[in-house]
Amino acid sequence: MTTMTYREAMREAIRQAMRADDRVFLMGEDVGRYGGSFGVSLGLLEEFGPERIRDTPLSESAFVGAGIGAALGGLRPIVEIMTVNFSLLALDQILNNAATLRHMSGGQFGVPLVIRMTTGGGRQLAAQHSHSLEGWYAHIPGLRVIAPATVADARGMLAAALDDPDPVLIFEHGGLYNVSGEVPDGDGRADLDRAVVRRPGRDVTVVAYGGTVGTALTAAQDLAHDGVDAEVIDLRTLRPLDDATVIGSVARTHRAVVVDEGWRSGSFAAEVSARIMEQAFYELDAPVGRVCTAEVPIPYARHLEEAALPQPSDVRTAVHEVVGHG
């Protein structure tokens, strides 16, 4: 076991992959000299040189598309997009090329590409730097969408993503980079097909992923004081979704609350909630609850931003509501 930050775990995964495989390289805006806008790639330029730690111009569409072409050409690119907000400039490449090429080519061409980007709010960066759009990407067949919530997963899921023969999008919540945690020795490769139970409990299933896992765990601690034993599930992978773990838990607790930093309308939480309804309706003792972001572009002012984003207290209230039901 070693203790490191989420940022260092990401860096360690990239470093190990680049040492192990010459085909792996990192490209994106400011990944080299600057060290990555969130400091993830700090020091990698010195170790691997500018060919493999490749600074790009401000051209999201071109460098994401170049990552797709490089993957088609036999390399294993990691593309960093500063935040999910800017990924919209590359949406055409991600959806119309990365996600579709295998199918449109009748299985002839795969795109083993990893795209990393930050997501989420909570740092008073206002609307154009704070949104959570991973649920949109999880809508798209042909992509794998993952959201590591712990330091160990930051390293283990990135390592596994690089082994994947298909395009993998990694959403790193901006609030997690400074979090410290333990990482197992060895490569700690994570299973990208499985959700995990982060805290076992009897009374209610709280489903979370990425940045909301911490929110859910804090809420679960508070709920314990209230005499409610909450089980917290970390989805880890939004697409393909491991609903078996969620349904298995709901079959034990008979209640569920989904926590999602996306907006409620058309949210990923809506998908999870629908699956619970489809697969475990008769297990439920109460309607599935949802804690999502208020339906506003994320505001700058601290109190307004806090009010907009899911807080542990919101989760606690929502859990009491479903537990109090029936």
Partner 1 sequence: MSKKSTVPPAAGASAHRLDLLREMVRIRRFEERCVELYSAARIRGFLHLYIGEEAVAAGVMSALTPADAVVSTYREHGHALARGIPPGAVMAEMFGKAAGCSRGRGGSMHLFDATTRFYGGNAIVGGGLPVAVGLALADAMLGRPVVTACFFGDGAVAEGEFHETLNLAALWRLPVLFCCENNLYAMGTAIERAQAVTDLAKRAASYGVAADTVDGMDVLAVEDAARAAVAAVRSGTGPRFLELLTYRFRAHSMYDPDRYRDKAEIARWRQRDPITLLTGRMRDDGELPDDTLQELEAAVAAEIDAAVAFADEAAEEPVGDLTRFVLAERSGS
Which candidate, 97, 24, 87, places its Cα nearest to that of 66? 97
Beta strand 230-234 pairing with 196-199 = antiparallel
Q: In this chain, which stretch among 57-65, 169-177, 216-224, 290-298 interacts with partner 1, using CB under 8 A?
A: 57-65
Task: State the residue for tokens 């010459």.
Answer: 22
Q: Is 106 a binder of partner 1 (CB under 8 A)?
A: yes
Q: What are the backbone angles phi and psi of residue 149, rounded to the nearest 5°?
A: -105, -20
CA distance 60 to 51: 19
DSSP per-residue letters across 161-189: HHH-SS-EEEEEETTTTT-EEEE-SS---
Q: Is 45 a binder of partner 1 (CB under 8 A)?
A: no
Q: Is 78 a binder of partner 1 (CB under 8 A)?
A: no
Q: Is 126 a binder of partner 1 (CB under 8 A)?
A: no
Min dist CB 47 to partner 1, Å, is 17
CA distance 264 to 145: 19
Q: Is 129 designated active site? A: yes
Q: Which is nearer to partner 1, 48 or 263 (CB)?
A: 48
Which candidate, 127, 84, 85, 118, places its Cα nearest to that of 301? 127
Out of 12, 29, 60, 80, which one is annotated catalytic? 60
Q: In this chain, which stretch among 4-12, 100-108, 114-122, 269-277 interacts with partner 1, using CB under 8 A?
A: 100-108
Min dist CB 119 to partner 1, Å, is 23
Distances (CA, A) of 221 to 62, 188, 293, 325: 46, 27, 22, 21
Q: Is 64 a binder of partner 1 (CB under 8 A)?
A: yes
Q: Is 163 a binder of partner 1 (CB under 8 A)?
A: no
Q: Is 221 a binder of partner 1 (CB under 8 A)?
A: no
Q: In this chain, which stretch among 56-64, 195-203, 251-259, 264-272 interacts with partner 1, using CB under 8 A?
A: 56-64
CA distance 53 to 34: 11
Q: Is 139 designated active site? A: no
- Using omega within 30 degrees of 0 as the cis cutoff, is the peptide bond preceding 297 cis? no
Q: Is 33 a binder of partner 1 (CB under 8 A)?
A: no
Residue in 62, 126, 251, 304 binding partner 1, rule: CB under 8 A: 62
Q: Which is nearer to partner 1, 93 or 130 (CB)?
A: 93
Q: Is 2 a binder of partner 1 (CB under 8 A)?
A: no
Q: Which is nearer to partner 1, 271 or 305 (CB)?
A: 271
Q: In this chain, which stretch among 10-18, 60-68, 172-180, 299-307 interacts with partner 1, using CB under 8 A?
A: 60-68
**Non-local CB neighbours of 281 within 8 Å, separated by 6+ positions:** none
Give how far the C-alpha of residue 42 lies from the chain's centroid of Cα atoms, to the nearest Å. Answer: 22
Whether the CB-CB separation of 294 and 267 falls below 8 Å is answered with no
Min dist CB 11 to partner 1, Å, is 22
Min dist CB 149 to partner 1, Å, is 23
Out of 129, 131, 173, 254, which one is annotated catalytic? 129
Task: State the residue for tokens 């076991």.
Answer: 1
Binding interface with partner 1 (CB under 8 A):
25, 51, 56-57, 59, 61-75, 77, 92-93, 96-97, 101-110, 141-142, 144, 165-166
Please give the positions annotated as active site. 60, 129
